[in-house]
Structure formats: C-alpha cells, structure tokens
C-alpha cells in the first residue's frame, strides 16, 4: 500500500486498539462504537443497515436497536457522534456499500459505516450507499462484486462538497472477511490472503486518487476499524491534512502510550477538529500529534506480544489454579505426617513466586515467539526465585518475605519506569483488549497489596526491635500506597479505596493499638480524605492529561460509572477461572485454622502474624468489592494466604510470639 505508507510518513500514524464489547470483531459493532465514542455491543445484524430516503438523506433503521442494546451501563450510546454534529448545525455523509449474498445467492445488504455518523434517530445528512452507484461485477471477487474505485472517488468528492464530515467504506475488506468465514465456502488460506491483498490495493488506489484533491482544511483519518481475522489485533490509524504534524506520530491521552491509540479516540478527534465540545460520556480523547516518527517495528512487536499473551493467558491461569488444587489437597493430607516438609515448603513458595515470575518472563527478549513454552518458562522462573529465596532461613516466613519484597520492588520500579513489564504480560494488561494501559492494573494491584501486607507484618513479627520495625513497616506501606494511587504512577482508584483503610488499620495493629469501630470509622474517613486529595490534584491538571479518576469525577455521571463497574464485577464472578481460587483458599484456611486448631497456635491473639493474615484477606475482599475486575483481585490476593499459613504450620520449632 504505497499511498498509505506515504501518508503515514508525511502525516502521523499509530497502532489502534479496536476492541468493542463483544468477544469477536464485527464491522457493525466497530462503527457503532466509533459513533458512540465508547465500547458498545450490537445485536446481530440482518438486512440493510442504511438506505436512501426520498429527501436525499440516508436512513439507518437499525439505529434504535443499536441504541437499545449497547451493553449495560455504557457511558455513551451509538449515535452520539452524529447527534453532536447535527446539534452543532453540521452535516454528515456516508459513502459505502459492503453488500454480500445469502446462502441461496440472493443479495444481502450490509452497510455498517452509516452507524458511525447517524444521529440518535438514525439519520445521516446525505451520501451514497446503493450498490449500483459504487460497485461493479467481478466473478473473481467475493460474492461476484468489487468496489469501483472511480465511482467511490466521485461519490466522495460530491459528499465533501455537501457535508462537514464524511465516512467512507469501500466494502471490499468486509466482503473478504465474510467470505473467509463462510462455512458454505471451501477456500484455502492462501486464496483468502490474496483476496484481502487485492481489497487493500483498491483502498490504496482510492487514496491515491482522492488525496491530491483534498484541500488544506480537510483532515483525513484512515482507520482500520476491525482486524482482518476473528481475533483482536492492533490495526493502523493514519492522520493526514489539517492540523497534523508531518512525519510525526499519533498520541492518545487516554492510553498515554507511545504509538498506541484506541477506536474510541476517533469520535473525540473528529469533534475537536470541528471545534465541537466532546460529550462527557465519550471515553476516548482527541488525538494529539507528536514530532517523533511512528515506530512501526515497535508497534508490530507490541501486537505480537499481545497476541502471544492472549493465546497463553487462559491455559496458564487454568494450569496455575489446577496445580494449586492438586498440591493443597495432597499437602493437607501430609501435614500431619513426618517427612515431606521440604517439598511442601518449596511448593507453596513456588506458588507465591509465580506472579513475580509472570512479570519477569515478560522481560525475556523474544518471549512472544515462544508460544506454549511460555508457561514452562514461568514455572522455571518461579522455581529459580524460590530456590534463591529459600536460602533465607532466619525465620519460618523469611523466604516468603523475600519473595514478597522482590515482587513489591519489581512492580514499583516497573510502574515508575513506564510499566513495560505490565504491558502484555500475563498478569498485566493487553493492548488488544485492555481498558487501561498505564499504571497498575487490577491484577498487579492485587499482587502488590498482598505482598506489601505480608512483608510489613512479617518484618514486625520477627524484628528484634519492634518499635523501629513498625516505623519501617509504615514507610513501606506508605511507599506502596503512593506508588499505587499517585496520578502519574499507579493511578489506581481501587487502590485508594482498598489500601488506605487496610494499610492504616494494619499499621495500627502492628503498633499494638486495639482496633475498634471508632478506628475503623477513622480509617474510612482517612480514605475519603486521600481520595478527595488525589482527585483534587488530578483535576488541577489539563483535561487531556487527567487519569481515569479525574475524568470519572469531571464527567458528573458517577452513578452510571459505579453501576457499570459493579455489573462487570458481578458478571466476572461466574465467568472467570480465577473464581476457583476463592473456595480453594477458604478450604485451606478452614483446615489449618479450624480443623487443625491453628488459629491461636499459628496466629496468636494480638500478634503481627494475625494482623498480617487478616489484612491480606481484607485486602482481597475489599479489593473484590471496589474494583471492576472483582473476584480476580481477590483470587490473586488469596494466592499468598495459603503459603503464609502453610509455612507457619510447617515450622515445628516455632515458638509462639508474644503479643506486641
């Protein structure tokens, strides 16, 4: 595509996350999300999506359905872009036809591009969507038709004279994708790839003819609204023309990642270019233009990393959970017997080291090419970390403390240096499907909170001078809290609601203070104060530089956002593998503390060890309630509860620690 390559070099480009709400890509949903300025879902589409009206406008009868079924508690609905343009007195147009054929060969209408610019009533100001005006017959192409590039250029030229914003879709990419996934057709991957290349060449030919005719006041956005396969991948976005820095790259304040933007940034960019206020429900941000050139190799590498992560995530999570189920079942049977203590100790420490190993594995050069071997690499790294940590023998929890400390240090250093290990790691966020791309994701936050609580408690429990140890523990918990909640570091709202009360009460318990309802109330008040302070700090920054916390408060739509997050929380409880960590942890805790009568023996009343155990469990439960990842947060916190209790049980020579 030489013309598109030239536009990327003389304009600005970026890789694009085009995730919508459905599990698999669909053009109709992509255009609906573009028009909403938010990720939405659409019902299955049958029949025409757009047709010409008698007055020259384009009607989209599907729009009422699209607006009724975008998903629960979405912040913006399809039609938002078109409605904002029409409310400002501007006009819209669509030029596009992706019609195919049914199973019997009869014509099947498909014109999804109109969803991007139709208003709430399903009206586009003008355009051309009928096949007679845009396509020509060609038996060698999917469904016997292809885009007539000359007609498309002529139709676009006419639309640009009549409308302020025009969306164009040649349709050939859609037809190629439909044919490749048609179960009634027998075709080879090579044939499908050749069909797609021909479709891309026609897009490039269209751009080659159109671009010289554009005036300097026109902004051209070339957007790959969906990946060519049935899985999520990054697609290109190229900006050219008015306001674009030549030879630069696109930057999104929503992602804060170099060369990475989202589909939901397109609508705010269009409105900003036309000097229209962006509706608060749109979750993206107007794209910015930077002087640094687009890093195509880096974006390709990121796409490969994300694809590799998506392939191994579920197998790795499933193996990790099943391994713990089997191990703890055997371990609980063997705890009362002599022998085997060394392998039990090593085994639980491997599970505690596994989260750290997933981040370390992300730093292995070329890890995206290892495929299924990535799982073995993680287990090897976890075993190596455990072997090194096992050399610490000053007290029963010393190896776990070293693992927790190494995990905390790794995560804090990583987030301070750009969170490179979290991006596309197994317990990080994926550039293909994530809703956030900087700071601490919910999974990393869960690991960080658990490790910080355990590290602080064990340090105080076994320190020779406990008063000094409490000060050190307070400094550690403060550092972790700042790293997690600071807008330019972790930027984690759930971290404020979880860490402030849990860490505050833990520190009081470690200092020997008895906890009461009054102290719990004070911890809640402190949480509100910290939340208000961080929010106020974020709101002092320019709107485009704010974190999701500042945008969340500035939007004023707090109730909808809270409802949406809670609905996601409840949905995940029954639809994620990590849910199984909850009954597993409960079984281990009940056996060791109740059946084995270890509550007083392992966790003496008033001891730092009991405070650490309760704080870790509390972090998991509270994190479960206040984060939209829900049970996943609790599951990853609970990963550390089993090793904590098992190591104490295995220590036959451990003397009961006196209360503080």
Query: What domains can you pick out in the chain, each with its CATH number?
Result: 2-294 (3.40.720.10), 300-650 (no CATH)
Largest CA distance in the chain: 89
- Structure confidence by residue, pLDDT tens digits, 177-221: 888 877 666 678 888 899 999 999 999 999 999 999 999 899 999
At 72 the pLDDT is 73
What is the predicted pLDDT for the residue at 521? 82
Position 105 scores a pLDDT of 63
As a whole number of angstroms, the distance between CA 659 and CA 447 comes to 28
First to last CA, the chain: 71
> What pLDDT, on the 0 to 100 scale, is given for residue 538?
62
Give me the count of residues in the chain: 660
Name the nearest CA neighbour of 367 among 353, 354, 355, 377. 377
Tokens 């029409």, residue located? 86
SS3 call for 232:
coil
Task: Say if CB 427 and CB 434 are below 8 A apart.
Answer: no
pLDDT in tens, 280-326: 889 889 999 999 999 999 999 999 999 999 999 999 999 999 999 99
| Total-model pTM | 0.87
Q: What is the mean pLDDT of each run of 10 residues along the chain (660 residues)?
A: 94 95 90 94 76 93 88 86 97 94 73 94 95 92 92 96 96 88 76 92 96 94 90 94 91 90 96 93 91 93 92 92 90 69 90 96 91 93 96 91 97 92 90 84 91 95 90 94 84 81 91 80 78 69 58 55 57 68 87 82 88 92 78 90 91 48
CA gap 637, 353 in Å, rounded: 13
Edge-to-edge strands, sheet with 51-52: 51-52, 58-59, 123-124
- Tokens at residue 413, please? 């250093």
**Phi, psi angle pair for 233, to nearest 5°:** -145, 165
182: left (phi over 0), alpha (psi -120 to 50) or beta: beta
Under 8 Å between Cβ of 33 and 71: no
Q: Please give the pLDDT value at position 540.
A: 66
What secondary structure does DSSP assign to 365-415, as a single string?
TTGGGSTTHHHHHHHHHHHHHHHHHTT--SSTTHHHHHHHHHHHHHHHHHH
Give the pLDDT score at 188.
84
The string over 20-41, giving b where at least 16 C-beta atoms fall within 10 Å of a residue's C-beta and e elsewhere, is bbeeebbbbbbbbbbbbbbbbb
Structure confidence at residue 28 (pLDDT): 92
Q: Which one-letter DSSP state was computed for residue 164?
A: S
């Amino acid at each position: 595509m030489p013309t598109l390559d030239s536009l990327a070099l003389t304009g600005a480009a970026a890789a694009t996350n085009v995730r919508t709400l459905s599990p698999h890509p669909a053009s109709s949903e992509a255009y609906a999300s573009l028009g909403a300025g938010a990720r939405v879902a659409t019902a299955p589409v049958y029949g025409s999506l757009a047709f010409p009206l008698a007055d020259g406008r384009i009607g989209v009868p599907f729009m009422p359905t699209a607006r009724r079924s975008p998903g629960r508690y979405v912040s913006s609905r399809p039609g938002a872009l078109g409605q904002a343009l029409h409310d400002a007195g501007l006009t819209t147009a669509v030029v596009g036809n992706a019609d195919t054929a049914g199973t019997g060969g009869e014509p099947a209408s498909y014109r999804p591009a109109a969803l991007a610019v139709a208003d709430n009533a399903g009206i586009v100001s003008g355009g051309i969507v009928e096949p007679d005006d845009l396509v020509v017959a060609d038996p060698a192409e999917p469904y016997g038709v292809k885009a007539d590039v000359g007609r498309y250029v002529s139709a676009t030229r006419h639309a640009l004279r009549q409308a302020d914003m025009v969306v164009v879709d040649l349709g050939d990419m859609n037809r190629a994708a439909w044919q490749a996934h048609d179960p009634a057709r027998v075709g080879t991957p090579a044939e499908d790839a050749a069909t797609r290349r021909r479709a891309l060449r026609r897009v490039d030919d269209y751009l080659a003819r159109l671009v010289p005719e554009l005036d300097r006041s026109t902004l051209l956005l070339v957007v790959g609204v969906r990946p060519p396969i049935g899985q999520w991948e990054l697609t290109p976005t190229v900006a050219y023309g008015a306001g674009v820095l030549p030879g630069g790259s696109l930057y999104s304040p929503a992602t804060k990642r170099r060369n990475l933007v989202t589909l939901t940034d397109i609508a705010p960019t269009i409105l900003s270019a036309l000097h229209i206020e962006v509706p608060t429900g749109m979750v993206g941000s107007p794209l910015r233009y930077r002087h640094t050139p687009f890093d195509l190799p880096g974006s390709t590498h990121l796409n490969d990393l994300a694809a590799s992560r998506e392939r191994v995530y579920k197998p790795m999570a499933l193996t990790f959970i099943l391994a713990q189920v089997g191990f703890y079942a055997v371990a609980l049977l063997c705890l009362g017997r002599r022998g085997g203590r060394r392998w039990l100790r090593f085994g639980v420490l491997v599970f505690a080291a596994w989260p750290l190993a997933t981040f370390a594995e992300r730093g292995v050069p070329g890890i995206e090419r290892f495929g299924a071997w990535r799982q073995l690499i993680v287990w090897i790294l976890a075993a190596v970390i455990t072997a090194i940590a096992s050399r610490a023998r000053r007290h029963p929890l010393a190896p776990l403390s070293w693992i927790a400390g190494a995990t905390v240090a790794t995560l804090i250093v990583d987030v301070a240096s750009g969170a490179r290990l979290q991006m596309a790691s197994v317990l990080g966020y994926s550039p293909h499907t994530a809703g956030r791309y900087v700071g601490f994701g919910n999974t990393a936050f869960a690991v960080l909170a658990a490790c910080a609580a355990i590290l602080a408690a064990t340090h105080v429990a076994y320190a020779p001078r406990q008063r000094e140890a409490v000060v050190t523990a307070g400094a550690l918990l403060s550092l972790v809290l700042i790293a997690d909640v600071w807008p330019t570091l972790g930027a984690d709202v759930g971290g404020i609601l979880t860490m402030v009360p849990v860490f505050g009460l833990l520190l009081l318990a470690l200092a020997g203070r008895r906890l009461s309802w009054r102290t719990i109330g004070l911890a809640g008040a402190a949480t509100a104060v910290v939340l208000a302070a961080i929010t106020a700090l974020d709101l002092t920054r320019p709107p485009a530089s704010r974190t999701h916390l500042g945008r969340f408060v500035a939007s004023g739509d707090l109730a909808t956002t809270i409802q949406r997050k809670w609905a996601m929380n409840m949905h995940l409880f029954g639809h994620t593998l990590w849910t199984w960590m909850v009954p597993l942890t409960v079984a281990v805790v009940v056996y060791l503390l109740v059946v084995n009568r270890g509550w007083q023996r392992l966790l003496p009343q008033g001891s730092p060890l009991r405070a650490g155990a309760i704080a870790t469990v509390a972090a998991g439960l509270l994190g479960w309630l206040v984060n939209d990842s829900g049970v996943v947060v609790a599951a990853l916190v609970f990963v550390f509860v089993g090793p904590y209790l098992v190591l104490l049980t295995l220590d036959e020579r451990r003397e009961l620690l006196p209360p503080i």
